[in-house]
Structure 1
């Protein structure tokens, strides 16, 4: 979703659920830019204390359906290497789906 659409979804101040969640729209858009660049999102203590999650999104341009593949875990029990392994596995899964559906938004990440 383009930044302009995100701004329309959140026209007023954000109400962050925690200190580690995006604190304002500019913070949210900066995080989304990183997600777009890296192909996955990561959350640590954002919505639930002690919980981390890594997710990817992929869609079907023909049907308009979009899905997220996500792994949640106790944040204190996972290493940086394990986080990287999870992110890579999720991106591999999304690449497979994007190849089948022809998701043009995920396509630039297919070559990674």
Structure 2
């Protein structure tokens, strides 16, 4: 970009997709299919995809399908990233919850963590 910089993880995402033979998968626009249920024994409901790793000891077909869906979602986000426009007015601003369990930092108008 002429008036800024674009940062993405496209290269890393492509390596991950290739590693798991998913480079040619069909992209999807959501991380989880509706009514997906995840648990250690395919009982119970957990909708947070980041928890799939909690079931590594006893993976089921549901977990495997959910993991593959994540990779298909990643395939559809290869061109996502952050644009940092040039400006003389960049200001670093941070917010955190009282318990320090959540936080956000902005550089100008861009959230970066």
TM-score where L is the length of structure 1: 0.23
From the two aligned structures, give the one with the greater helix fraction.
1
TM-score where L is the length of structure 2: 0.23
